[in-house]
Structure 1
Amino acid sequence: MKNRLLDTFSLHYEKEEYETVVATISRGVVFRGTNLWILIFAIFVASLGLNVNSTAVIIGAMLISPLMGPIMGIGLSLGINDIPLLRKSIYNFLVATLVALVTSTVFFLISPLNDAHSEILARTSPTIYDVLIALFGGLAGIIATSTKQKGNVIPGVAIATALMPPLCTAGYGLATFRFSFFFGSFYLFVINTVFIALATLLTVRLLQFPHSPIKEGSTGKMARRITWIVVVITLLPSVYFGYDMVQRNRFEKEAARFITAEAHFTNDYLLSKKIDAKNKSIVLVFGGKEISPLEIGMIEMQLQKYDLKNAKLEIKQGFAYLAETQGVKQDAQLTLLTQALEEKEKNQQALQIQLDSVKNNRALSEKLFAELKTQYNSIKSAIIEPSVIHTSDSTDQRTFLVLLTTSTGLSKPAQKKIESWLRVRLDGRPVSLVVKQQVQL
């Protein structure tokens, strides 16, 4: 049973011939002629996708790009100790990277659109999660290449590991002199490169590809040492950035919970909120009456309940806040705030009027029913509600609908008398009286 389970996960039954795998990867290493032009066109396509913030276009560029070739060549050459292939792979990788950077930089220099859309911003802050994506994507890629069951794995790996967009974003950073964008996106490209190559190296060794022994002091041994040094140097910052990302995400969630549950003051309403996870600050702007220092102190004490004791809470109040803000004229700011307060007050008044009307109608109907019951003992129940009569000529008429349920019925004179009495009690408003005799079971 154990052997059968192990056989299920074995890769050796479907393994491609060693010579075929090496030949396939070696062909993809060289960037000359067709491969080079395809790379240039793919860079243009990816840059256009970033420029117009189109995910579909970016995915298309990733499928076109031949950048995986030299990266897998580096991993393969290290795995089988093929120094000539390693030199050729590194050379072509550097050429491809330089061509891609120059192409994307030129594109963004001449492009009239230079806004940093979400597709660009998403590639400027790599983390440990990008390392894992590159590692597992690289493992899937080399296993598919090394076996006969290739399927659609390679295109999927090209999309998942995303080599093209970071390079294009780096070009955008150079073209717009936003060097934080350049370093962040280029670091993501290095992460993808290093860990795809590492995945290739590990898989080649796992599949026991024939490799030359390394002699003491040889170039191959030095290359292996350099490889592991590069892996560690690449990994460490991503671990820090990943930890920082998790902490920021946690801060934002807890701050949002805190605002929803605790940020309430009588006769005040929240105009705006700003959560800055990087600096661990929460800025709340309220409109309404002045909030006392005691109230602010009480809400600050609630930060500990949400594990935000190190957070800085800043509460700004209406006009005082508007006097501090920049970029908009103070008169315009005061007008906007005044309008907002007036609108809120109008809405509250309208709601209060509706509520009072409902309460008054209920009290009136109860009083009328009690008076009718005193006059006519046969009345068992009553519905007395303001209503509207809709007519075919669109002349709607407001009225009081009065539905009486009696045990013995009411004569026509009695109904007319009740109708006249109701008009007097309702200050002359129209009345629509309906009398229904209760069915005896």
Structure 2
Amino acid sequence: MDRDTVVTRKYSTTRSILLFEGGDRLAYWRRFAMLLTLSVIIATMGLLRNSGAVVIAAMLVAPLMTPILGIAAAMVMGWLKRAFVLTLTVCIAAVLCVLMAWILVYLADVPRDILIPDQVLARTDPGTEDLIVALAAGVAGAYVQINKAELSLLPGAAIGVSLVPPLSASGILLYFGEPADAYEAGLLFATNLGAIVLSACAVYIVYAARSVAFGKGRRKLNFTAGVVITMAFLALVVVQLGKSTYNRYLETRTEAEVAQAIRDWADPVSVEIIRIDVNAKRKRAEVWVIVDLPPEAQFKVSSVAGLLPESLRETSLVDVLQDELGPGYLAVIRYQTRIGAQVILGTETVQQAPDVEKLSDEE
């Protein structure tokens, strides 16, 4: 293969990345609008049905990755006007996705008082790990664009980064009257957007555009300005992600401390902790525990308080939670009792049931 052929191929690849719409831009954007609409419909229905497989299908259909990579390519080439137009287009598309999701839930007449599906809530807690995933996905997407022989990797890159599902989740949460969680879902999309642009810029520079990025003149200035703006945007996102990650760490640690405090409070009585969920930002906690009563409790006519072992009556569970969480928390406590017995079948031997966690460890 001679040098002219190599140069022509490189030019063809660069042109296809920069001018991804092809000769008929109007036709491309019509297809883009159709695919984006289908992706939002699939994602919204998948989130409402709590189906991860359907949500993944929406990721594969979503066409947002191409214009986002186009932003990176335009920045590297110093085409700030095109980069700005594409950024504005992506932002408008994102807003429309949120609006479409809200309308879909409204038309489906979903009751507002139902439990929000886990697939929706999973997109309301972005952290620094999501930034890392988005950076890697941006590298993969840009690499596939340059190396057409690796097109089989494109679905993996699309699944690796979440673009439409967070927007659909944001629309669903706005319908349910949860603006704070809707903001968190939108933050996840912003994280993915900024990270993909930055990492794709790095790939394009390494593979094709070093002379532009590190040369002289107006294009270099435009490229530098674009990278600075992107990094400033990402810095704001990282601050928000850092807060979320730190809050998550505090909540996880607090939940572990509360669980241990409940075990210490109940000891030696067997207690099963069903759920502990602490939200430090809203100062809310949900605690659900089941305490085993001795077998003879079933033969007593008494209040639940009277049936409890003496040690559990000395200090209330509310006092234990206040010591761990502090005053001001809204605590939802689901406290249940049950008869716990260990029976040797064929005999009259009836003993107190062993501790639930010790039994689980032995298994």
Q: Distance in 1 between matches of 2:58 and 2:274?
A: 39
Q: 1:177-256 counterparts in 2 under 5 A?
A: 177-209=177-209, 210-211=211-212, 213-215=216-218, 221-253=224-256, 255-256=258-259
2:42 alignment partner in structure 1:
45
1:290 matched to 2:310: yes
Give the SS at the match of 1:53.
coil
Equivalent in 8, 13, 20 of residue 27 of structure 1: 20
Q: Distance in 1 between matches of 2:345 and 2:153?
A: 64
Moved more, 236-245 or 72-81: 236-245
Give the TM-score, by structure 2 length. Answer: 0.72
Q: 1:282-361 counterparts in 2 under 5 A?
A: 286=291, 288-291=308-311, 311-312=324-325, 344=339, 347=341, 354=347, 356=349
Q: Which amino acid aligns with 1:236?
A: V
1:307 alignment partner in structure 2:
none
**CA distance 1:112–1:295, change in 2 (3 Å):** closer
**CA distance 1:218–1:199, change in 2 (3 Å):** closer
Q: Distance in 1 between matches of 2:316 and 2:106?
A: 50
**CA distance 1:65–1:82, change in 2 (3 Å):** same
Report how many residues are paired: 311
Q: Distance in 1 between matches of 2:326 and 2:239?
A: 33
**Larger relative contact order (CA 8 Å, sep ≥ 6):** 2
CA displacement 1:86-124 (0-9 Å, x = unmatched): 133123213322332221121111123354101000001
Give the TM-score, by structure 1 length. Answer: 0.60
1:61 matched to 2:70: no
1:130 alignment partner in structure 2:
130
Q: Which amino acid aligns with 1:311?
A: E
**CA distance 1:203–1:148, change in 2 (3 Å):** same
CA deviation after TM superposition for structure 1 residue 35, in Å = 1.4
- Determine if contact 2:286/2:333 at 8 Å carries over to the other structure: no
1:88 alignment partner in structure 2:
85
Q: Which has the larger radius of gyration?
A: 1
CA displacement 1:400-439 (0-9 Å, x = unmatched): xxxxxxxxxxxxxxxxxxxxxxxxxxxxxxxxxxxxxxxx
CA deviation after TM superposition for structure 1 residue 23, in Å = 1.5
CA displacement 1:105-150 (0-9 Å, x = unmatched): 2111112335410100000111101100100111111112112432
1:17 matched to 2:10: yes
Q: Distance in 2 between matches of 1:36 and 1:69?
A: 13
- Determine if contact 1:282/1:313 at 8 Å carries over to the other structure: no
CA deviation after TM superposition for structure 1 residue 227, in Å = 1.9
CA displacement 1:142-194 (0-9 Å, x = unmatched): 11211243232211111110101001011112223220121011110000000
- Determine if contact 1:128/1:239 at 8 Å carries over to the other structure: yes
- Determine if contact 1:28/1:69 at 8 Å carries over to the other structure: no
Q: Distance in 2 between matches of 1:88 and 1:110?
A: 32
Q: Which amino acid aligns with 2:14?
A: V
Quote the sequence identity (%): 21
**CA distance 1:190–1:326, change in 2 (3 Å):** closer
**CA distance 1:265–1:176, change in 2 (3 Å):** closer
CA deviation after TM superposition for structure 1 residue 289, in Å = 2.3
**CA distance 1:312–1:41, change in 2 (3 Å):** closer
2:301 alignment partner in structure 1:
none
Q: Which amino acid aligns with 2:241?
A: S
1:385 alignment partner in structure 2:
none
CA deviation after TM superposition for structure 1 residue 85, in Å = 2.6
Q: Which amino acid aligns with 2:244?
A: F
Q: Which amino acid aligns with 1:42?
A: S
- Determine if contact 1:63/1:155 at 8 Å carries over to the other structure: yes
Q: Distance in 1 between matches of 2:169 and 2:94?
A: 13
| CA root-mean-square deviation | 3.9
- Determine if contact 2:56/2:159 at 8 Å carries over to the other structure: yes
Q: Distance in 2 between matches of 1:257 and 1:132?
A: 33
- Determine if contact 1:79/1:211 at 8 Å carries over to the other structure: yes
CA displacement 1:202-231 (0-9 Å, x = unmatched): 111222415274549965554333222112
Q: Which amino acid aligns with 2:233?
A: V
1:171 alignment partner in structure 2:
171
- Determine if contact 1:194/1:231 at 8 Å carries over to the other structure: yes
